[in-house]
C-alpha cells in the first residue's frame, strides 16, 4: 500500500477509498456550499456568484451557473470566463474538470470523472478512481449531454442534446448520439 493518504491518492488519479476523513470533510464543505447556492433567491446574483467563487477552483469573470447545481468537491472544477450553464448541471469532480471560456452548457448536463474497477472484488471493497475532463473554449453542450471520464472536447465543438461523449472529440465539429460521433466539421 502506498504511503499517500487516500485524498492524495484521489488527487493523483490512483485508486482510493472515499471514506477517508479528509475526503469526507471536502465533501461536506461542497454539500454545504451547494445547498446554500441552491436555496438562495435566484435574483441574489452577487451572493450566488460569491458562493460559486468560494466553492469552485475557478469561477471566471462573467460566468454564470444557474442553480440547481451539484458537485462532489468543487475545488477540482474550473469554470471559464463568460461561460454559462443552465439548470441542473452535475459535476462529479473527483478529478479535475476544466471548462474553457465562452462555453454554453444546456440543462441537465452531467460531467462525470468518477470511475470504478471492472473487477467485482475491488468494486465491492469500494475502491474508486477518476479521470479528468477538459472542455475547450466556445464549446456548446446541448441539454442532457453526458461527458464520461477522461474525455477532452476540442474548442468550438457542438455536442447535440442527449449525446453521451465516451471518447475525445476534436475541435470544430458537431457530434451527436450515444456514443457521440462526429457528423460534420464546422
- Per the annotation, the verdict on 35 as an active-site residue is no
Beta strands in 117-179 (DSSP E): 127-130, 133-135, 140-141, 146-147, 152-153, 158-159, 164-165, 173-177
Decide: 46 and 103 in contact? Cβ < 8 Å: no
- Alpha-helical runs (H) found in the chain: 6-12, 21-39, 45-55, 120-124
User: Does residue 162 come out as left (phi exceeding 0), alpha (psi in the -120 to 50 range) or beta?
Assistant: left
Distance CA 86, CA 50 (A): 18
Q: Pick the catalytic residue: 36, 66, 82, 116?
A: 116
How many Cα atoms are found within 13 Å in the side-chain-facing hemisphere of 166? 6
Decide: 115 and 149 in contact? Cβ < 8 Å: yes
Q: Is 158 strand, coil or helix?
A: strand
Q: Is 57 strand, coil or helix?
A: coil
Residues annotated as part of the active site: 116
Amino acid at each position: 500500500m502506498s504511503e499517500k493518504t487516500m485524498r492524495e491518492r484521489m488527487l493523483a488519479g490512483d485508486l482510493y477509498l472515499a471514506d477517508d476523513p479528509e475526503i469526507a470533510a471536502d465533501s461536506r464543505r461542497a454539500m454545504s456550499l451547494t445547498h446554500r447556492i441552491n436555496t438562495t433567491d435566484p435574483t441574489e446574483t452577487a451572493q450566488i456568484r460569491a458562493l460559486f467563487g468560494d466553492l469552485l477552483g475557478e469561477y471566471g469573470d462573467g460566468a454564470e451557473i444557474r442553480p440547481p447545481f451539484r458537485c462532489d468537491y468543487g475545488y477540482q472544477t474550473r469554470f471559464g470566463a463568460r461561460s454559462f450553464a443552465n439548470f441542473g448541471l452535475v459535476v462529479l469532480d473527483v478529478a479535475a474538470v476544466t471548462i474553457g471560456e465562452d462555453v454554453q452548457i444546456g440543462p441537465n448536463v452531467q460531467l462525470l470523472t468518477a470511475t470504478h474497477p471492472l473487477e467485482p472484488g475491488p468494486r465491492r471493497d469500494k475502491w474508486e478512481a477518476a479521470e479528468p475532463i477538459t472542455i475547450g473554449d466556445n464549446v456548446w453542450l446541448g441539454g442532457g449531454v453526458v461527458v464520461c471520464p477522461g474525455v477532452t472536447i476540442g474548442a468550438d465543438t457542438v455536442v447535440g442534446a442527449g449525446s453521451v461523449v465516451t471518447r475525445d472529440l476534436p475541435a470544430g465539429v458537431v457530434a451527436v448520439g450515444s456514443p457521440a460521433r462526429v457528423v460534420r466539421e464546422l
